[in-house]
């Protein structure tokens, strides 16, 4: 698969969509980082969490660029230095998005529950699934190994499909909270939307790549059993 040129043709649409999404993120993030906000990302996230009654959710600064995420196991919202410290529309938008995940977790948002449960299996299936397909192909197209590998990789597709509503919903919650709590105005929200919408396209690209890879595996190997 790694050395098959056809694979790269299969995933080309997702690859170019991902490149475009990354370009959009850099452009919109840089623009929104130049626009001031009344609170830092950490302060905005704290305000949103406290307003939702989530005083027990901690906020930590972590190294990295756009390494922001919510850890449901530790009940901690972790923000990169720029997002944590800076008072910009980009920082409050990203921090609010991650706070949205914390609110989802607190409310038992069903797609988030499914996504979190699927993480270990999807992580295993991503590598083991492709490996089993390759081994099955080497072993004279062993149908059992090939279809077992395809089945394992299918968990990645399921994970990505479930992840889309989780991310879209977190962004929707972020936008509503930022305006509802008076952290940004309706006009300023336009720039926050640009950042969050650009980030959403990266999830779409990842989902498309998983689907196209699965279709490639089925077409290239599964039809030869």
Active site residues: 98
Pairing relationship of beta strands 76-79 and 58-61 according to DSSP bridges: parallel
How far is the C-alpha of 30 from the C-alpha of 24, rounded, in Å?
Answer: 10
């Amino acid at each position: 698969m790694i050395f098959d040129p056809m694979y790269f043709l299969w995933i080309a649409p997702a690859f170019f969509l991902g490149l475009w999404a990354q370009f959009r993120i850099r452009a919109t993030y840089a623009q929104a980082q130049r626009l001031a906000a009344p609170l830092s990302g950490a302060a905005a996230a704290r305000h949103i969490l406290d307003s939702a009654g989530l005083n027990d959710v901690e906020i930590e600064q972590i190294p990295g660029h756009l390494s922001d995420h919510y850890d449901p196991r530790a009940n901690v919202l972790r923000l990169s230095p720029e997002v944590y410290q800076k008072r910009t529309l980009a920082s409050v938008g990203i921090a609010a998005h991650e706070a949205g995940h914390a609110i989802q977790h607190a409310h038992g948002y069903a797609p988030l529950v499914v996504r979190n449960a699927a993480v270990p299996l999807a992580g295993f299936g991503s590598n083991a699934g492709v490996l089993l397909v390759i081994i099955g192909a080497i072993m004279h197209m062993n149908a059992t190994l090939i279809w077992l590998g395809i089945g394992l990789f299918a968990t990645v597709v399921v994970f990505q499909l479930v992840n889309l509503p989780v991310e879209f919903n977190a962004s929707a919650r972020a936008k509503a909270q930022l305006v509802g709590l008076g952290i940004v105005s309706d006009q300023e929200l336009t720039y926050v939307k640009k950042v969050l919408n650009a980030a959403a396209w990266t999830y779409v690209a990842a989902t498309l790549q998983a689907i196209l890879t699965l279709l490639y595996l089925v077409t290239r190997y599964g039809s030869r059993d």
